[in-house]
Structure 1
Amino acid sequence: MKIKTFKILSSALLLSATLVSCEDFLDKEPPSYVIPEDYYRSDDQIQAIANGFYTSVAPSTLGAFSDGATDIQTGMYADGKYAEGQWKVGMGNSNWDWGTIRSVNYSLNTTLDRYAKGEIKGSARNIEQYIGELYFFRAYRYYSMLRNWGDLPILTEALPDDEAALVAACKRRPRNEVARFIIANLDTARTYLKDNFDPMRNRVSRDVATLVKSRVALFEGSWLKYFKGTPFVPNGEGWPGKAKDYNAGYEYPSGSVDSESEYFFRIAAESAEEIAEKYKGVLTQNTGIVPQEEGDVNPYFYMFGAVDMSVYPDILMWRAYDKSKEVVHSSEVGVQFGNWGVGVTRNGVERFVMQDGKPWYAQHDGYTYDDSTIGSIREYTDPRLSIFLKEPGQKNVFKNMDASVTHAVPVEPYPNILNGNGDKGYSTGYSLRKGGTFDKALCENLYSYNGAISFRATEALLTYMEAEYQLTGNINSGRILEYWKAVRTAAGFSGDAVDPMTTIAATDFSKEKSDWASYSAGEQLTDPVMYNIRRERCCELLGEGLRSYDLARWRSYDQMMDEPYHVEGFRFWNSPMQEWYDPKSLVSDGSSSANVSSPELSEYLRPYEKNMTSGNLYRNGYTWKMAHYLQPMPIRQFLLTAPDHASVELSPLYQNPYWPTTADMPAEK
């Protein structure tokens, strides 16, 4: 989508704002009261309606700061879901917001009706493209809600302002049926969306819908497999849907939870293969060069921060910005400093294999893994980490050096781990330049205008690898090895390192315990193929915002219910990096004034264990509750849908597993 679609001041955007003004399911003013009768009459009006959903629904990743609060990236402040009793049921929850779905439903149904009657003027090709986009937006919004809530009402109409009709529509459908509904919407979208409709690839395309179809199917197939038998899937022990709506038991469309999981994995593999086959030969290549002057060539590096991303064929969709139109952001400032305080963790660094394709702890020819400095890590590591991990002394900018801006840092300094400021501090000591441009002109605060990736084709290759292996358990099945080698070749590996068998043969699970992805349902994996498929996905997509969703669908948080997890950053104590800091400035006594963690805890910096007083809820590490895999339903929704508007138990809704139905209470388990 070109930048003009993000700054529309037309009636379409105003209408959209009106439609989503209320947050609660039962409080929506019927859109027929506010939509002008003469709207939805021309292709440009339908386009304007579709444009309005791009900023609220379509995703994008600015920089590489989006995997915070996981095991591979973490911010200046810990997430409350990892502390005992901090996440509580609320009276309201802004995430339980049906405004976008209601708006899309009204827009989609009105457009379909008038198009069928021949009442919309303009190009049929254009109108059908925008119809496809509306189907996509409904699917993508539902996918977001599926991740948050699991079982959901399935709505295809903008409901009338009638309480009985609204309450009846609140009935939650099993999550797998919601996932099927999402996939059906994406399939319909694919019938309308056009190839090459937007050469800049700023709009949703058929390929984008196909990629998202594979993503949704992989998510649901994994969830059903790893949560089988729990209250988080239909017919699992204690599933709340049975108590409300399925007293005789739920019947899966495919016959069983195992068959349903297989159904989704098959869709994931087939859809991913469609995209992978189209793009496997044009993946952007990593030359291994960290640009330090004009003329240094590395397309893979520059792809993530380009102003014009249309030149990269494997970027399926991206968001454009334009300083002249004041449609801007500030991600480049984050790259100049510590990624807005979102640092890569020790685990995030150790997930990457070395340049020979073997994990860090394996035997290597000619070198031994050394994390005593950032430079020693970069020297022999995975080419992706080598180019993106920032090292003191590197240039941060060398283009447009005459630009008058105040937030450029010409040379990367020692990580400012003593700065508690989330804007410019370094939470772990490790930070990335993924998404960087080396352009000083882009470093003006709130005035960056490089693009943001929404979807990359490489994800399809990774999805196929995982889904196909889930179906067959055979690394030689289908195109698993072919796609794996294609990803590694594009990543910059060569020789034996391109072959994933090199990594698989050298994997030692006893050395992988810090990786949450090495666990499912509280047990560490025993299959090195599956584990290394997860590893490859982590390394290729680092910082792009998919890690938390992957960890949830793999059920990778369970082990923290029994053993707290200690987040660590770089190796600070007893390393040359300790000498970067004035000893007089270091306070490691565990007091509320401490600015580094004690060497008695670990040689590695523990960002949440500097203060070891009772006021620090994370001083003993991260913990987890099973309930936290889904969000708690807000109490207000139970009251709104109860016949007497007072008795929670009379509502047709049900609470998510292990969350109470009393406000301001934490999870029970």
Structure 2
Amino acid sequence: MKKLYILLVVGASLMMSACSDFLDREPLTTPNSETFLSNASAVNNYINGLYIALPSFGTYDMGVRGEEKNSDNIVAEVYDKRLNGELQENGGGSTEWQKGYQNLRNVNYFFEYYKVPETEETKDVLSMKGEAYFFRAYWHFYLLTRFGSIPVMDSFWDRNATVGGLQIPPRDRSAVAQFILDDLNTAKELLHPRSQYKGLRVCKEAAIIMAMRVALYEGTWEKYHKGTDFAAAEDKSADLLGQVLTLGDELFGMGLTLNTKATDKSAVNIEDAYAHVFNSKDLSDMTEVVFWKKYSIADGVIHNLSSNLGAGYVDNSGPAGLSQSLVDNYLNADGTPIDPADGIFKDFNLTFKGRDGRLLATVMHSNCKFKSTSPESKSKAMLVEEYSEENKSVVRPPYLTEGGPARNATGYHIRMSIDTTYVSGQGETSLPMIRYAEALLAYAEAAEELGKCTPAVLEKTLKPLRERAGVTYADPSEIDPNFTDFGYAISANLQEIRRERRAELALQGFRLDDLMRWRAHKLIQGKRGTGAYFGTDGVLYKAFDPKSAADLKTILTTDGWLDPQKELLPRGYQFDSNRDYLLPVPPSEISLNHELKQNPGWQRK
């Protein structure tokens, strides 16, 4: 019966469509709708089905790990069309709109038909009800980040399946954000703590961190977009950022800790404590990870990420690589920033020497093991040094000569989530979805935006993150002239908070949202990502067989750095800062719901 209910939910989600299709939809066929969700077992089975739509590692693709080609963290030959201003009003946001509202309909079906008698509402049942509130908040936030002001689906809209009933006005983005925060507050009061399910289900701590994410996003969006066409009707940034601090103060008393070398008995190298958050199979005892997805061959839930990483994939749709700007973001281990113009970084090996452990855990570098063709074979190590007949059978340089998605475009492969058993095929490495580290970063950023970021705040937030990565911590005091230029001045504190956020959350799906809420179009317009140095005098070039090195089909900058998008984007990305911060509302939805308005810049004359 359990499998039956889950299949019904999955089947329904595949058949459901956005509000423009309500009038054509067949009646719900879930048996006994009026009594379907009247006991704990049915509630459990239905809520389990809602987890399926959350981000995951793909069965065939990179999933979350390859998502950030929509930002400056990954350089891909199949580039992101939004960054290049190529989206069209018709189709530009249809998939996202449909996905968001489909999933909201699934959640609101639960609220519509939830009939568990009050006498049978155990703590477990109430916690599952809290999970439903979490999911409703999650999918509204998904839509908010893409479309801004939207109609809030706070009830089961099938009751409104007439043209008149679907004339639902959007709420201003501030009101949408507050609705989300209210749902998360309700969820927080109902949910079990992490300890109940060891992070395998949404928990109280996850709801708090999610609320911090939402309040930080909207608070900074309203601050940096104030006075533009993307602004909220009323600037409530101070209130929202204040909520981040209030939530953080509550969270800090709940006993969460980072995974560190002191607590991780298997950590040996500087990068291990951070790496183990992403390359472990079981995160039950790692309280830093408050919500995670388990993969298990025994349970029949597996992913293909291990095979893809072993094959060198960064983006499964074509050649790609991690960007030089991401690599340059990481500090030296002594806490000082690098100077990207320093000639030592033409040497691939020296690029990683004495650096932040998170760089080592995120990006493949010399002597990293990562390649296996069968469970019995030993992994190969990546090596970047002069080619020799002796080393060619046991080591390989970056996969610059492969075909299709296996060809690396920048010289920088992904190391994060590498299966340390080096068995390709059925992947079992877990997927952390919500982490305590995110809360530390959100708290620090909100405090600085409010002028409340004291040294004590940074010592509570940035310091433990840096020290976990083997980086000496010191209070920020000076602006790094080589740091990312956002097109407006930021404080030394905020510079280091943003640096830390990029380092800690790299390849986890945060970067695009950060660029959008910070109004960071200067990082995108006219820019394209580059890769490692590949001049003929460099160690990376010399790592290839001299017989074939001269035939490598690489595209370089004038001074010898890999520039894979040079011919594709000769003028760099053409992001339209008057339009592309939000996706277009599907015209079909506007035709049906006349209360909707098109987002700025998408109205075509």
Band the TM-score falls in, shorter-chain normalisation: 0.7 to 0.9
Show the counterpart of 1:40. Answer: 37
How far apart are the structure 2 equivalents of 1:451 and 1:273?
Answer: 29
How far apart are the structure 2 equivalents of 1:566 and 1:359?
Answer: 22
Show the counterpart of 1:637. Answer: 589
CA displacement at 1:302 relative to structure 2:
2.1
Contact 2:152/2:170 (8 A) holds in 1: yes
How far apart are the structure 2 equivalents of 1:306 and 1:63?
Answer: 16
Show the counterpart of 2:400. Answer: 417
1:116-159 CA deviation, whole Å, 9 max, x = no partner?
565xx5x6112101100000000001000100100010121112
1:589-625 CA deviation, whole Å, 9 max, x = no partner?
xxxxx8211452x32101111xx3xxx3x12322210
1:240-296 CA deviation, whole Å, 9 max, x = no partner?
xxxxxxxxxxxx4xxxx1xx100110111221233244356x311258x9x999x99
- Residue 128 and residue 557 in structure 1: after superposition, are their counterparts in 2 closer, same or farther (change >3 A)? same
How far apart are the structure 2 equivalents of 1:12 and 1:394?
Answer: 41
How far apart are the structure 2 equivalents of 1:44 and 1:26?
Answer: 33
Show the counterpart of 2:564. Answer: 607
What secondary structure, in the 3-state scheme, does the structure 2 residue paired with 1:283 have? Answer: coil
Show the counterpart of 1:229. Answer: 227
Alignment of 1:72-471 (within 5 A): 72-83=73-84, 86-90=86-90, 93-97=94-98, 98-111=101-114, 114-115=115-116, 118=119, 124-159=122-157, 160=159, 162-169=161-168, 171-196=169-194, 198-235=196-233, 252=234, 257=235, 260-279=236-255, 282-286=257-261, 298-341=272-315, 342-361=320-339, 370-396=344-370, 403-404=375-376, 409-412=379-382, 413-422=396-405, 424-441=406-423, 443-444=424-425, 447-471=426-450
Contact 2:150/2:171 (8 A) holds in 1: yes
Alignment of 1:36-75 (within 5 A): 36-37=32-33, 38-57=35-54, 64-75=65-76
Say whether 1:653 aligns with 2:591. Answer: no
CA displacement at 1:430 relative to structure 2:
0.8
Show the counterpart of 2:386. Answer: none
- Residue 492 and residue 598 in structure 1: after superposition, are their counterparts in 2 closer, same or farther (change >3 A)? closer
Say whether 1:490 aligns with 2:442. Answer: no
Say whether 1:479 aligns with 2:457. Answer: yes
Contact 1:484/1:500 (8 A) holds in 2: no
How far apart are the structure 2 equivalents of 1:595 and 1:82?
Answer: 26
Show the counterpart of 1:628. Answer: 580
Instruction: Give the TM-score of the pair, scaled to structure 1.
Output: 0.79
Q: Which runs of 5+ in 1 are unaligned?
A: 1-6, 236-251, 589-593, 642-650, 663-669
Q: Which runs of 5+ in 2 are unaligned?
A: 383-395
How far apart are the structure 1 equivalents of 2:530 and 2:275?
Answer: 27
What secondary structure, in the 3-state scheme, does the structure 2 residue paired with 1:454 have? Answer: strand
- Residue 541 and residue 15 in structure 1: after superposition, are their counterparts in 2 closer, same or farther (change >3 A)? closer
In the comparison of the two structures, how many residue pairs are matched?
574
| Aligned CA-pair RMSD | 3.1
The residue type equivalent to 2:135 in the other structure is: F
1:311-364 CA deviation, whole Å, 9 max, x = no partner?
21211011011213321101112332334345221100110111111111299x
- Residue 659 and residue 586 in structure 1: after superposition, are their counterparts in 2 closer, same or farther (change >3 A)? farther
Contact 2:194/2:205 (8 A) holds in 1: no
Contact 1:31/1:106 (8 A) holds in 2: no
What secondary structure, in the 3-state scheme, does the structure 1 residue paired with 2:182 have? Answer: helix
How far apart are the structure 1 equivalents of 2:162 and 2:173?
Answer: 25
How far apart are the structure 2 equivalents of 1:162 and 1:394?
Answer: 57
Instruction: Give the TM-score of the pair, scaled to structure 2.
Output: 0.87
Say whether 1:13 aligns with 2:7. Answer: yes
1:409-456 CA deviation, whole Å, 9 max, x = no partner?
52222111233411x221211123111132133x11xx1122111111
How far apart are the structure 2 equivalents of 1:292 and 1:310?
Answer: 17
Give the fraction of aligned pairs with identical amino acids, expressed as a percent.
22
The residue type equivalent to 1:580 in the other structure is: A
Contact 1:350/1:360 (8 A) holds in 2: yes
CA displacement at 1:658 relative to structure 2:
0.2
What secondary structure, in the 3-state scheme, does the structure 2 residue paired with 1:317 have? Answer: strand
1:186-217 CA deviation, whole Å, 9 max, x = no partner?
00111111124633310000000000000000
- Residue 8 and residue 570 in structure 1: after superposition, are their counterparts in 2 closer, same or farther (change >3 A)? farther
Show the counterpart of 1:23. Answer: 17
What secondary structure, in the 3-state scheme, does the structure 2 residue paired with 1:27 have? Answer: helix
Contact 1:71/1:347 (8 A) holds in 2: yes
Show the counterpart of 2:530. Answer: 568
Contact 1:304/1:453 (8 A) holds in 2: yes
